[in-house]
């Protein structure tokens, strides 16, 4: 099963207010495991970059001015995601932008049925929260030290690890690896029965040793402890 973990960075909070996508990051999963294949697109939003948005992701108008427009990269984006399900954190935000960009580029939009929202998964599993991406990384011991600012590809890579934890995939993978290991065969030692010697060995005590032993026993008296009834 192929899935695509996806994240976007934008100029603002809503495409209805004229905001646009400036970065797309995507990570390919096969059977819930990353393949190493990724997609990162920086896009010219054809508008200014609000100071508040730049403070979140660090992408300036100067950096983006020579980047391709979404319409020029729409086919590459659609080819990469193909018909796979999309794994997105707070998917309503990203999908509103993605479908707005696709519609503006005269491309088919993506149905909600193809989208798995990891925020909803996290809320069901951890109803007391918090369930932000940073909080989930902390909960699952995922190193996000490099995430000083939001970045679509970096966040998609972190989300892939979080998603694996949310669905129990890491434990499953470990179990599969353990099951795949060849069993170690330990040689069994043959059982050795206690054999009775047919002819008892002759005593090695000398007469002097016997006499000394009997003398020591006599010195203990007529009623030694070991002859008493239990």
Is the pLDDT at 226 greater than 90, yes or no?
Answer: no
Q: Is the pLDDT of residue 186 over 80?
A: no
pLDDT above 90 (res 124): yes
pLDDT-based confidence at residue 228 (cuts at 50, 70, 90): low
In-domain check, residue 157: yes
What pLDDT score does 203 carry?
Answer: 65
* 192 falls within a domain: no
For residue 154, the enclosing domain spans: 2-173
Residue 171 confidence (pLDDT)? 53
Whole-number pLDDT of residue 208: 74
Number of domains in the chain: 1
- Given the residues 19, 57, 89, 150, select the one marked as catalytic: 150
What is the chain's mean pLDDT, rounded?
85
Inter-axis angle of helices 118-125 and 152-166, to 10 degrees? 40
Q: Is 57 a catalytic residue?
A: no
Residue 185, pLDDT above cutoff 80: no
Residues 6+ apart with CB under 8 A from 169: 32, 33, 163
Is 182 a domain residue?
A: no
* Residue 140: per-residue pLDDT: 95
pLDDT at 182 over 60: no
**Bridge partners, 91 (sequence order):** none
Q: Is residue 212 part of a domain?
A: no
Distance CA 124, CA 120 (A): 6
Q: Write the CATH number for 151.
A: 3.30.420.10
């Amino acid at each position: 099963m192929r899935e695509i973990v996806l994240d976007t960075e934008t100029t603002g909070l809503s495409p209805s207010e004229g905001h646009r996508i400036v970065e797309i990051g995507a990570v390919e999963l096969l059977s819930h495991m990353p393949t190493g294949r990724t997609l990162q697109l920086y896009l010219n939003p054809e508008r200014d970059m609000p100071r508040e948005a730049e403070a979140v992701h660090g992408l300036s108008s100067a950096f983006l001015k020579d980047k391709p427009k979404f319409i020029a990269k729409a086919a590459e984006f659609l080819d990469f995601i193909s018909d796979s399900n999309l794994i997105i954190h707070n998917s309503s935000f990203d999908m509103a932008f993605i479908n707005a960009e696709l519609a503006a580029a005269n491309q088919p939009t993506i149905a909600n049925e193809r989208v798995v929202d990891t925020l909803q998964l996290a809320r069901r599993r951890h109803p007391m929260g918090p369930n932000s991406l940073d909080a989930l990384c902390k909960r699952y011991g995922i190193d996000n030290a490099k995430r000083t600012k939001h970045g679509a590809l970096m966040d998609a890579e972190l989300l892939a690890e979080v998603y694996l934890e949310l669905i129990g995939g890491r434990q499953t993978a470990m179990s599969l690896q353990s099951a795949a290991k060849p069993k170690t065969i330990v040689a069994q030692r043959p059982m050795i029965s206690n054999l009775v010697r047919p002819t008892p060995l002759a005593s090695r005590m000398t007469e002097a040793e016997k006499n000394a032993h009997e003398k020591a026993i006599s010195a203990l008296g007529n009623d030694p402890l070991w002859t008493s009834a239990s």
